[in-house]
């Protein structure tokens, strides 16, 4: 179905934001919600109901920010371009926004929200600037959007809302399984730092057959291949989950030079440098054969230390804080040395109890695999719905 089009400026007032002087306490800690792009990046939902920072009436009057009525569409125009939310309360924003206030009932906010989400990459390409890209007010006003009847806009938004809600429920279920696993660990073993159950405490180095990190092949990213042996980097190590996105590949000759850091199934991977220091996960068998670079440490437990127990012990909040404190002691950047890994002490419960916990982990991970597969199906369906929605095919 062919719909008429209109420019965003025809159906919305496009409003820029501003920031009161941060050095003037009279402008801050008031009761006017003030939004930054960071707030949207951490939102995790469509509607913005509150903000961490607020300004005063004097702060609002001191700058060019304007109050946006509820049901405006907040759109970040720089750093980064394309974050979107709908405010459920009146707010103002900083200068990183070109927000849209619908005019005369021509555009339904939720329809515009989804259109902007779907066309994020195309709008990013409109950004201008040498230091960082930004879309100007004029550019946003000139963007052409489809304009079906308002009832059709509401129907489309409702379909996308419902499909997105299914994905959100599946993600919430996955989060609940993670919480259950953490709770089960604490019930069975107690906090690893305070060790309330009085388990024997031992250094990791006493119960591992290998602890060590690798290197980046000469030439850096330019040496990576489209196929070959996996090279695990810090970006692939997420807490409790291996991240396949951006997995690098190297050829056999490069891998041979890293033969001392060849991965085995269930090796515990620990990020030891950089901003992601202390992130931990186990190596999945599907990634083999694989190596690690210098930012990732292999910890290979011996038979008296179960890998699943070790991973979850390192993932508890208290242990994570210990690791981060060690990492922050690096001279020039966050770093954990091999010696510090070897000497890091953890409780060592009876192996039989560790294995009982490992069986629970395996059961939950099987449930998570099924949920991830279902979520992938929902993501595919949602992408199809988004494409069809704005082509008049729903």
Q: Choose the final residue of a domain: 114, 129, 147.
A: 147
DSSP strand pairing (92-93 vs 290-292): unpaired
DSSP lists the bridge partners of residue 270 as 280, 297
* More confident of the two residues 332 and 123: 123
Residue 360 and residue 355: Cα distance in Å, rounded?
Answer: 9
Whole-number pLDDT of residue 331 = 57
Residue 372 and residue 259: Cα distance in Å, rounded?
Answer: 33
Same domain (yes/no): 16, 118:
yes
Whole-number pLDDT of residue 79 = 85
Q: Choose the final residue of a domain: 121, 147, 173.
A: 147
Tell me how many domains the chain contains: 3
Q: Where are the beta strands (DSSP E) in 17-66?
A: 28-35, 47-48, 53-55
Whole-number pLDDT of residue 180 = 94
pLDDT band at 309 (very low <50, low <70, confident <90, very high): very high
Judge whether 243 and 224 are in contact, CB under 8 Å: no
pLDDT over 70 for what percent of the chain? 99
Same domain (yes/no): 14, 140:
yes
> What sign does the CA torsion over 173, 179, 183, 184 have?
positive
Domain range enclosing 393: 148-199+349-394
Same domain (yes/no): 37, 118:
yes
- When mean pLDDT is compared across 34-48, 261-275, 306-320, 324-338, the lowest value belongs to 324-338
pLDDT tens per residue, range 338-380: 999 999 999 999 999 999 999 999 999 999 999 999 999 999 9
- pLDDT greater than 80 at residue 333: no
- pLDDT greater than 90 at residue 222: no
Same domain (yes/no): 153, 241:
no
Same domain (yes/no): 76, 143:
yes
Same domain (yes/no): 305, 205:
yes
Q: Choose the final residue of a domain: 118, 147, 176.
A: 147
pLDDT band at 332 (very low <50, low <70, confident <90, very high): low
Residue 197 neighbours by CB under 8 Å, 6+ apart: 189, 190, 347, 349
**What CATH number does the domain containing 15 carry?**
3.90.220.20
pLDDT band at 19 (very low <50, low <70, confident <90, very high): very high
Going by C-alpha positions, the residue among 95, 92, 83 that lies closest to residue 40 is 83
Same domain (yes/no): 52, 132:
yes
- pLDDT greater than 90 at residue 389: no
Q: What angle do CA 27, 30, 34 make, to 5 degrees?
A: 80
Same domain (yes/no): 365, 250:
no
**What CATH number does the domain containing 157 carry?**
1.10.287.1120
Same domain (yes/no): 60, 131:
yes
Same domain (yes/no): 19, 134:
yes
Judge whether 68 and 87 are in contact, CB under 8 Å: yes
pLDDT tens per residue, range 232-283: 999 999 999 999 988 999 999 988 989 899 999 989 999 999 889 999 999 9
Could you give the C-alpha distances from 341 to 78, 259, 299, in angstroms and in order?
40, 21, 9
What does the pLDDT average to over 7-35? Answer: 96
pLDDT band at 329 (very low <50, low <70, confident <90, very high): confident
Same domain (yes/no): 166, 229:
no
**Tokens 């779907």 found at:** 118
Same domain (yes/no): 185, 211:
no
């Amino acid at each position: 179905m062919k719909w008429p089009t209109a420019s965003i400026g025809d159906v919305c007032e496009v409003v820029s934001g501003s920031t009161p002087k941060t050095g003037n306490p009279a402008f801050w800690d008031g009761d006017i919600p003030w939004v930054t792009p960071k707030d949207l990046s951490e939102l995790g939902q469509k509607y913005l109901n509150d903000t961490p920072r607020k300004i005063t009436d004097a702060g609002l009057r001191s700058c060019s920010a304007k109050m946006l009525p509820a049901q405006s569409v907040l759109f970040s125009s720089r750093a980064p371009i394309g974050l979107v939310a709908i405010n459920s309360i009146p707010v103002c924003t900083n200068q990183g926004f070109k927000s849209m206030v619908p005019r005369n009932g021509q555009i339904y906010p939720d329809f515009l929200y989804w259109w902007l989400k779907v066309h994020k990459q195309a709008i990013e390409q409109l950004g201008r600037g040498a230091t960082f890209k930004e879309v100007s007010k004029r550019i946003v006003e000139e963007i052409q959007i489809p304009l079906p009847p308002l009832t059709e806009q509401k129907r489309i938004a409702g379909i996308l809302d419902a499909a997105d809600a299914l994905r959100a429920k599946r993600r919430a279920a996955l989060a609940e399984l993670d919480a259950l696993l953490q709770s089960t660990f604490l019930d069975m073993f107690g906090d690893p730092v305070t060790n309330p159950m009085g388990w024997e405490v031992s250094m990791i180095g006493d119960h591992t057959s290998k602890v060590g990190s690798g290197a980046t092949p000469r030439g850096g990213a330019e040496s990576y291949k489209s196929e070959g042996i996996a090279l695990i980097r810090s970006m692939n190590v997420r807490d409790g989950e291996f991240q396949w996105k951006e997995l690098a590949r190297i050829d056999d000759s490069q891998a041979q030079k890293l033969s001392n850091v060849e991965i085995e199934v269930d090796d515990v991977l620990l990020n030891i440098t950089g901003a992601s220091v202390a992130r931990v996960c186990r190596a999945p068998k599907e990634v083999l054969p694989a190596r690690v670079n210098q930012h990732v440490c292999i910890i290979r437990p011996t038979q008296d230390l179960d890998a699943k127990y070790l991973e979850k012990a390192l993932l508890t909040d208290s242990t994570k804080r210990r690791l981060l404190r060690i990492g922050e002691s690096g001279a020039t950047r966050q770093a954990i040395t091999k010696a510090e890994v070897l000497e890091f002490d953890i409780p060592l419960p009876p192996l039989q109890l560790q294995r009982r916990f490992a069986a629970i982990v395996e059961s939950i991970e099987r449930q998570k695999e099924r949920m991830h597969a279902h979520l992938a199906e929902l993501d595919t369906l949602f992408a199809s719905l988004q494409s069809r929605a704005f082509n008049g095919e729903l």
